[in-house]
Amino acid sequence: MSKTLSALFIVMLSVMLQGCQSFTAQNTQKTNNLTTEAPAIAPKKDASIIIFNNSNQFLFGKKGTGKLNLIINNNEKYQLEIGQYIKIEAPHGPLKIQLKHTDLFDFDSLHQVNITKNAMYIEVFATMTSNGLTVTNKPDNFNSQYQITSN
């Protein structure tokens, strides 16, 4: 029995060592491949974008239905109450903005904005049947009417 256990132990040890050797060879090959490839370069953030929620306070403020959820380029998520804004950095070119709000139903809309300037203001708002978005100039009362969101 002792010889059987010893033989079994030797076989298991050699299988484990062979597996480690194979794993090390694969990792070395992967590491070598990584070092020869050029690193990915993040897109240059050329523009400062202010997105502000200008939903109608009378229609959407009391029930809280003017709260907008934003998804930017399918990954950055924000939530804006009426009178709040976010500031993001983005490269020039297309910017996808998905807007969502809930009233009696869930409203979801997708908008594409072409970023062409180094500073842009985008007004977003809830409507009775969807959401809206307008590229605009900085409103005259912006500093007194809007506050940056904490999220």
| Confidence check: pLDDT of 95 > 80 | yes
| Amino acid 66: pLDDT | 87
pLDDT value of residue 49: 96
| CB of 103 closer than 8 Å to CB of 68 | no
pTM reported for the whole predicted model? 0.69
Domain limits at 26? 1-41
Mean pLDDT (the chain) is 80
139 and 123, same domain (yes or no): yes
121 lies in the same domain as 55: yes
Q: Does residue 54 share a domain with residue 35?
A: no
SS3 85: strand
pLDDT of residue 139: 94
pLDDT at 121: 97
Q: Are 12 and 63 contained in the same domain?
A: no
Helix (H, G, I), strand (E, B) or coil at 133: strand
Question: Do 79 and 29 fall into the same domain?
Answer: no
pLDDT of residue 62: 73
Largest interatomic CA distance in the chain: 91
Residue 51 and residue 30 in one domain: no
Strands 84-90 and 47-53: antiparallel
Write the pLDDT tens digit of every residue in 13-22.
454 445 444 4
Write the pLDDT tens digit of every residue in 45-85: 789 999 999 999 888 877 778 889 999 999 999 999 999 99
Residues 58, 109, single domain; the answer is yes
Q: Does residue 82 sit in helix, strand or coil?
A: coil
